Amino acid sequence: MLKVNACAVCGYDVRVFRNGHRKVSPPVILGHELCGEIQSDIMVGNGMSINAGSRVAVCPLIPCLHCPYCQAGDYNLCMNLKEIGSTSNGGFAQYVTIPEQLIRIGGLVPVPDSLTDEEAALLEPLACCLNSVSRILPVAKQRSVVIIGDGPMGLIHLQLFKRLSSSRVAIVGKVPSRMEKSRAMGADAVFAYSPQTVADVLDFAGASSSGAGAVVIATSNPVAFELAAKVSGKNSKINIFAGMPSGQTFLLDVNWLHYNQISITGTFSSTPKMLEEATRIAADKAIDLSAIVTHKYSLSEIEKAIDVTEKYYGLRAVINKF
């Protein structure tokens, strides 16, 4: 049993709340970005234990532990995956029950004192961004990076690329206050999405290159895919980080992929190892999660938190009173 200290409102929560989702059969309590206090001592494997009262971040995966992906440690790809906040009750509540499989895969990660509860709630999304960045980091270290999306996930990607590479990073956004924040967080260029954007980004990538080296799609807006294809240079990598409306398809010129050696990848969620890594890098404040938390509400005000999330006010809203 975990007493919830903070749980952040993800765009996913809002989509499920408004429109439902194929993964979710109501009634279920949403909320998968959470930090809480362990209510009794537990063994977490390798002779290690976490004592009652310790704060932990949660990797919200409940894997089957038997399928080939689980055997390989890729629990986020489990063929029978269940998740806290989707198929099992989540963090928008005073307490959450943690299933045994989650503990067995190391899904509870102790939170260092240097992080607040609200920052610790964002360790899960940070871990998801680490998964994304790991797919394209080699090319991102060499060449220009473009992040499509100026939301909290886009800005965490921005911080990660600025920390892990010395490449120039551009953000393509839509919300003036978020684009302003991108500049403050070190984006080398910020473009408002418009018919001019392709030309702007190609210019940013440099006249001597054929386009950007690494592109991340960190928005659910389907126009992002076409934009990513148009601004990607030869030998580039595009990672699709965000979920899109279900049934979304794209037409691709196969020869464009072939002759330009383009790689398109996707990443979903993260593993407990990535959550541990996220905790390490956030602990020394190299990644500033506090800048991502812009609204705090009590559980009784959750509809306000959902409202600010879908209106793109600020960045992340966190529930921190229960």
Task: List the one residue from 7, 50, 70, 84 that touches Zn ion (CB under 5 A).
Answer: 70
- Nearest-10 crossing angle of helices 197-205, 223-231: 40
- Interface region with Zn ion, contact rule CB under 5 A, candidates 20-28, 73-81, 137-145, 147-155: 73-81
Choices 23-31, 39-47, 78-86, 305-313; region in contact with Zn ion by CB under 5 A: 78-86
78 binds Zn ion (CB under 5 A): yes
At closest approach, how far in Å is the CB of 219 from Zn ion? 14
Q: Which of 31, 60, 63, 151 binds Zn ion (CB under 5 A)?
A: 63
Instruction: Tell me if 24 contacts Zn ion by CB under 5 A.
Output: no
* 10 binds Zn ion per the rule CB under 5 A: yes
How far apart are the C-alpha atoms of 168 and 188, rounded to whole Å?
6
Interaction between residue 133 and Zn ion (CB under 5 A): no
Q: How far is the CB of 121 from Zn ion (least distance, A)?
A: 10
The minimum distance between CB 239 and Zn ion, in angstroms, equals 17
Taking the complex as a whole, the smallest distance from the CB of residue 81 to Zn ion amounts, in Å, to: 7
Please give the residue ranges that form the binding site for Zn ion (CB under 5 A): 10, 63-64, 67, 70, 78
